[in-house]
Amino acid sequence: MDSSRYRNRAFCFDVEIRIKKDKILIHSGRFLHSFYFEDEFKPLGNNYIRCCTQEHVNGIFFGKINKWISEQSILPDDRRYYLCGSPEMVIGTIDALIKKGISLENIIAEIYF
């Protein structure tokens, strides 16, 4: 058995348990095949939002995550926002969150190479 696959599935299961009504998982990728663990996250229902920048598909937001953020009428300013991705995505998302009134203290970011 591939232990890394087991750890990743355990992580997804943990995410599913921890995401409740007041939390949302926003998953962004260039192409549809970029949505790793999509099947594990789908049970989250409306709390699982996918943003795709290169392919148009019904039910998936077309565009970057910072565009999705900018189109929201309101974002809770008392929550923490966890980001992980490329430097460009993280910086753009931080900028979009700050423009929506989210304090930098509530944004936790990790650069993924």
User: Which residues constitute the domain of residue 69?
Assistant: 64-113
- Tally the domains of the chain: 2
Based on the fold, state whether residues 11 and 55 are members of the same structural domain: yes
Burial of residue 30 (number of CB atoms within 10 Å: 0-12, 13-18, 19+): exposed
Based on the fold, state whether residues 79 and 107 are members of the same structural domain: yes
What is the predicted pLDDT for the residue at 20?
Answer: 56
Q: Which two tokens stand for residue 51?
A: 């943003």
Based on the fold, state whether residues 85 and 98 are members of the same structural domain: yes
**Which DSSP letter does residue 74 get?**
-
pLDDT band at residue 4, thresholds of 50, 70 and 90? very low
Start-to-end Cα distance in the chain:
27
List, for residues 44-75, the tens digit of each pLDDT value.
888 888 999 999 999 999 999 999 999 999 99
Based on the fold, state whether residues 35 and 88 are members of the same structural domain: no
Q: Where are the beta strands (DSSP E) in the chain?
A: 25-29, 48-52, 61-62, 81-85, 107-111
Based on the fold, state whether residues 37 and 8 are members of the same structural domain: yes
User: pTM, whole model, 2 decimals?
Assistant: 0.74
Based on the fold, state whether residues 75 and 44 are members of the same structural domain: no
Please indicate whether residue 97 or residue 41 has the higher confidence score (pLDDT).
97
Based on the fold, state whether residues 4 and 31 are members of the same structural domain: yes
